[in-house]
Amino acid sequence: MYKSFSMELAGRTLTVDVGRVAKQANGAAFMHYGDTTVLSTATASDKPRDGIDFFPLSVEYEEKLYSVGKIPGGFNKREGKASENAILTSRVIDRPMRPLFPKDYRNDVTLNNLVLSVDPTCSPELTAMLGSAIATAISDIPFAGPCAMTQIGMIDGEFIVNPGQADYKVSDLKLTVASTREKVIMIEAGANEIPEAKMIEAIYKAHEVNQQVIAFIDKIVAECGKEKHSYTSCAVPEELFAAIKEIVPPEEMEEAVFTDEKQKREENIRKITERLEEAFAEKEEWLEVLGEAVYQYQKKTVRKMILKDHKRPDGREITQIRPLSAEVDIIPRVHGSAMFTRGQTQICNICTLAPLSEAQRLDGLDENETSKRYMHHYNFPSYSVGETKPSRGPGRREIGHGALAERALLPVLPSEEEFPYAIRTVSETFESNGSTSMASTCASCMSLMAAGVPIKKMVAGISCGLVTGETDDDFVLLTDIQGLEDFFGDMDFKVTGTTEGITAIQMDIKIHGLTRPIVEGAIARCREARLFIMDNCMKPCISEPRKEVGQYAPKIVQIQIDPQKIGDVVGQRGKTINAIIEQTGVKIDIDDNGAVSVCGTDKAAMDKAIELIQTIVTDFEEGMILTGKVVSIKEFGAFLEFAPGKEGMVHISKIAKQRINHVEDVLTLGDVVKVICLGKDKMGRFSFSIKDLPENA
């Protein structure tokens, strides 16, 4: 027997089965939202993992293509590595839940979400988010939940709660908000220049819905929840803190950490740690946690100075942005490049343009998302933070940062009709000390403009931090947080946007939620800062997109043909289009609506390809003058090819003004001649003539 719980959520039924499947997990929720089905489980190890100073939480979101009736493409018919969407979904689940576990908990915890079926009207991502929260809440794993998540869309100014795929496709807002009973704990958003006030309204609309879901989860926990298990605390002993303060008084620690040079600060802390290791050489149990103790001592020092004295480690004012600089065209021969520097954070972004056929193909669960025309990739090498380690490809953090900067710029990109290119921007992190994703947004915006991409508006981004005290009213917001303030603070609130409104938000916190004044204050502070960055750094460097793409970028000309003529241009098994490509050296893309994109670097070759295509799709009319190549000679006339797959005949009597006995007397294979269309003959076939050409043709 198992227990089943249901509630109406945004007009659809959410059902949770407990005790039906996966009974050996610490907690399992068999989730049904409409016909979307997800199995969410929470498991924990019996003992803490040795030798670590962090909480080892792993979140997995497994997309199975059978859930949408597909077999994976390619040679290997198993699902491969997690898709970008799966990684981003895992991050959205991880970020609000991680702060709700005990800070001194070191047992391995895995939250797994297996997508079994997908109803296009009910988001599997949302179902998994709720499933993880429920599975953890009913388990015996220590957790300060429950929490809940809601998605908000907006069409024609009206909010839609938990929109399906069709609504999300046309929505001006894609917002996910997680909440506890009292506060907002996570915000993730992509938006089409939503004004700040409207965004705040949407956030708290989601927060209201979350309270209904939390009440529902409370009922499940009351009936099915397990008693939370005890665990071995990895907290630093208080006597160790006392001993450290005797050797390193607070004044000395304050002097060590309060510098604007990251390397100097790290060197100061290294020397302090060496002194403490010598002092505690005979206390092995203290040495095991000394690193964590020094970290917490730094944290307490920085937080105290910021909160009480409004003193930041690098001496800046609370609202002050670090020194800014920007350059474009820093890399030769690429299609576009820009570098953006903010303090010790430096991003170089390179833009590449290509035909639409180079767009990324997606094999996922969302039927709307089959390809991606704009791609932003973010790289974070170890040298950017003065460390050494081998590159193993992008991790989840890199995928997340790249997606945030990509989402920030999507609303201002030109349509395919306006700019028929696939676009890739790559952010290379040259130096990192806080909020490289926001620097990536600024750098990629300038790189796009330098490449001649006609973006509609300039986009910039900035991060706002937070340090809280003992009460909800005791807090300080910090504009443009550097790494130290991110590590030791309570929040990383990233906002990108134009002068008109917000295009993306990503909020991470380390505490149990934010009050509304904090959320409103952070959004206002970020608007003020991004406008400052645009006006004082980006616009003086490049104020608008260049009128043309660069010298080394492919040129694309788009023409429209009758969709009924697509087959004529393509030809049997692609014979006709391949002949045009071979003859001219261009690339040709045709979509189902008859939009033909011709891509190349040689204008004459592109013009020739367009001429051939237009010849193929144009019906012959009397009086039309054409140029053709002699491809076949018969006794009665010659056959001319006007374009690949498009031929016509000139009768022997229409070749020359005087009578000729043989076609070969005037024409040979390969000759290129002009002809005039005479209309249809008695048999209904088009007739062409050389001798009837006007003298000036």
Q: Above 80 in pLDDT, residue 594?
A: yes
Mean pLDDT, to the nearest integer, of 194-199?
Answer: 96
Whether the pLDDT of residue 434 is over 90: the answer is: no
Within 13 A of 595's CA, how many CA atoms are on the CB side? 16
3-state secondary structure of 419: coil
Name the amino acid, one letter, at 119. D
| Mean pLDDT for the stretch of residues 209-234 | 96
**CA–CA dist 183, 223 (Å, integer):** 25
Residue 459: the pLDDT is: 98
pLDDT of residue 233: 87
Q: Is 260 annotated as a binding residue?
A: no
pLDDT tens across 478-489, in order? 999 998 888 888
| CB 589, CB 356: distance < 8 Å | yes
Mean pLDDT for the stretch of residues 7-33: 97
DSSP, collapsed to helix, strand or coil, labels residue 575 as helix
How far is the C-alpha of 531 from the C-alpha of 539, rounded, in Å? Answer: 10
Percent of the chain with pLDDT over 90: 70
pTM for the structure as a whole: 0.87
Strand 173-179: give its sheet, edge to edge. Answer: 158-161, 148-155, 173-179, 184-194, 502-509, 491-497, 460-468, 475-479
- pLDDT on residue 283: 85
Nearest by Cα to 439 from 536, 347, 305 = 347
Picking from 461, 433, 434, the residue whose alpha carbon sits closest to that of residue 376 is 461
* 33 and 122 Cβ atoms separated by less than 8 Å: yes
The mean-pLDDT minimum among 22-26, 428-432, 468-472 falls in 468-472
Lowest mean pLDDT among 208-212, 344-348, 608-612: 608-612
Cα 569 from Cα 392, distance rounded (Å): 45
Phi, psi (rounded to 5 degrees) for 684? 85, 10
Residue 603 has pLDDT above 90, yes or no: no
- Sign of torsion, CA 312 315 319 324? negative
Three-state secondary structure readout of 164-206: CHHHHHHCCEEEEEEECCCCEEEEEEEEEEECHHHHHHHHHHH
- pLDDT over 80 (residue 169): yes
| pLDDT, the chain, mean | 93
- pLDDT tens for 454-474 read 999 999 999 999 999 888 889
CB 189 within 8 A of CB 173: yes
Is the predicted pLDDT of residue 224 greater than 90, yes or no? yes
User: What pLDDT, in 10s, does the model give residues 293-352?
Assistant: 898 898 888 888 898 888 888 889 999 999 999 999 999 999 999 999 999 999 999 999
Measured CA to CA, the distance from residue 321 to residue 480 in angstroms comes to 6
Taking only the tens place, the pLDDT of each residue in 244-257 is 999 999 889 988 88
Q: Tens of pLDDT along 343-367?
A: 999 999 999 999 988 999 887 788 7
In contact, 442 and 533? CB cutoff 8 Å: yes
Q: Tell me how far apart the alpha carbons of residues 110 and 132 are, in angstroms, rounded to a whole number.
A: 10
Is the distance from CB of 154 to CB of 189 less than 8 angstroms?
no
Q: How many CB atoms lie within 10 A of CB 535?
A: 13
Q: Label residue 399 by pLDDT band (50, 70, 90).
A: very high
Q: What single-letter amino acid sits at 421?
A: Y
Would you say the C-alpha torsion 21, 26, 30, 36 has a positive or negative sign? negative
Reduced to 3 states (helix: H, G, I; strand: E, B; else coil), residue 50 is: coil
What is the pLDDT, as a whole number, of residue 286? 87
Q: Find tokens 């005290």 and name the residue.
A: 469
Cα distance between residue 139 and residue 363, in whole Å: 34
Tell me if the bond preceding 146 is cis, omega within 30° of 0. Answer: yes
Residue 684 DSSP class: S
* CA dist., res. 304 & res. 302, Å (int): 6
At 618 the pLDDT is 87
Residue 697 has pLDDT above 80, yes or no: no
Nearest CA among 397, 402, 396, 400 for reference residue 378 = 402
SS3 255: helix
Task: Tokens for 33, please give them.
Answer: 């939202």
Mean pLDDT of 123-147: 97
SS3 call for 377 = strand
Distance CA 125, CA 90 (A): 9
Residue 682 corresponds to which amino acid?
K
C-beta separation of 47 from 144 below 8 A = no
Strands (E), 54-157: 57-63, 107-117, 148-155
Say if residue 242 is exposed, middle or buried (CB neighbours under 10 Å; 0-12, 13-18, 19+). Answer: exposed
Whether residue 535 is annotated as binding a ligand: the answer is no
In the prediction, which pLDDT does 131 show? 98
